[in-house]
Amino acid sequence: MRVLFLGDVVGRAGRTAVEDMLPAIVAEGRLDFVAINGENAAGGFGITEAICQDLLDAGADAVTLGNHSWDQREALVFIERQPRLIRPANYPAGTPGRGADIFTAANGARVLVCNLMGRIFMDPLDDPFASIDRILDGLTLGRDVDAIIIDVHAEATSEKQGLAHYVDGRASLVVGTHTHVPTADHRVLPGGTGFMTDIGMCGAYDSVIGMDKEEPISRFLRKIPQTRFSAAAGPATLSGVAVELDEATGLATAIEPLRIGGDLAPAWPSFLGEMPSGLDAGD
């Protein structure tokens, strides 16, 4: 079973990259399931119903969120009627939407997608370790579900790694999102869980984590906001990670990064075959 998880989609540049490239990646890579973090998709801040639908139409099976979940106020409403939009499970009780759900992959597999938010240097939400225990309680990977994918939206690398090791052997894939910079530590953990501390962003890397450079630099220099942050334009890199799963156990057998277009060095998972023609240039 082949799964792709794409990092935070930032603004129009990131959305365009997903819409232009993902259909060919799904087809040529024979992907069974695709998840995308979409919490920065609307100009860098939140997600709208129309944008969420565009990501789903491009080939996503589930869209996860994070600390910008409610920046677009309409998300508080439409998340209730969009079952494929998943917000952090450790938001307080009564928060709209759902923090985990089971989806059917292209090959018929049952895929549980969970979203958690870290607490270090971020809003002090409920304990993500306790939250994932509640979600996984009574579920056996390979018996009750065929794959378990967890998006840990967190600032601290230590917290992401801690959560990954905590669920090692109980989940198929743990990806870190939020910091928008891909790390080089993709690997299969000892218990069989695929992991990457941060899978990067789908956006313009000639930026400060996806934002136009001038305003962030100005704030670093003067500590005074001059204007609002705005998502950077320009060539975008599609960044994420692909994992191959054992269909009997749901555990990872291979994991490799995917990066296409824009300013970063390209990377294409070897188990997906040949990269579709034209995508290496970000066309």
User: Among all residues, which ones are annotated catalytic?
Assistant: 68
Question: What are 31's two structure tokens?
Answer: 């992907």
Cβ neighbors of 55 (< 8 A, separation 6 or more) are 9, 15, 18, 19, 36, 38, 41, 63
Distance between start and end Cα atoms, the chain:
27
Instruction: Please check whether residue 92 is in contact with residue 102, taking contact to mean a CB–CB distance below 8 angstroms.
Output: no
Phi, psi for 21 (deg, rounded to 5)? -105, -30
Strands (E) across 92-190 are located at 100-104, 110-117, 147-153, 173-177, 187-188
What Rg do the C-alpha atoms of the chain give, in angstroms?
Answer: 17
Q: Which of 104, 100, 267, 113 is nearest to 199 (CA)?
A: 267
CA angle, residues 39, 45, 47, in degrees to nearest 5? 50
Dihedral sign of CA atoms 118, 124, 130, 131 in order: negative
Cβ neighbors of 12 (< 8 A, separation 6 or more) are 43, 231, 233
Q: How far apart are CA 235 and CA 223, in angstroms?
A: 29
Q: How far apart are CA 72 and CA 153, in angstroms?
A: 18
